[in-house]
Amino acid sequence: MRDNGGPAYSRERQITLLETLDRLLNRGVVVAGDMTLSVANVDLIYLGLRLLVSSVETARLLGGGQRPPSEPPPEEGLREQSSRSTRRPNNHCNDRTSLGNTSGTEGVRGNGE
């Protein structure tokens, strides 16, 4: 959950970010507040899962799927992963930088409660 100071796009960091994203946007106490943010959750998480699956698959290809997330994959793994990602249609979530752009899909609604 915390940044351990690893390489900027390490697999562990990417997985941690996706797991955090999933929890912070889709789970946790829901408060009908003065202002509630609605994000395109489904799309984001769908993309997140695809990414996660491709990174687990990459780990399996390289190491029989036994590698714990704390061990960063060799460089080939990252290349494999990103080439998969770029083949996906509507991809805007394949790295940290473009993940930030998803805030463009946010909508704010006041629900007056």
Measured distance CA(75)–CA(91) in Å, rounded: 22
Give the span between the Cα atoms of 51 and 56, in whole angstroms: 9
Smallest distance from the beta carbon of 68 to other proteins, in angstroms? 7
Extract the tokens encoding 30: 């829901």
CB of 108 within 8 A of CB of 35? yes
For residue 104, give the 3-state DSSP assignment: helix
CA Rg value for the chain = 16
Instruction: Kindly state the smallest distance separating residue 101's Cβ from other proteins, in Å.
Output: 9
The 8-class DSSP code of residue 109 comes to E
**Chain positions contacting other proteins, by CB under 8 A:** 1-3, 15-17, 19-21, 23-31, 33-37, 39, 44, 49-50, 52-53, 56-57, 59-60, 64-66, 68-69, 96, 99-100, 102-103, 106, 108
In the bound complex, what is the minimum distance in angstroms from residue 27's beta carbon to other proteins?
4
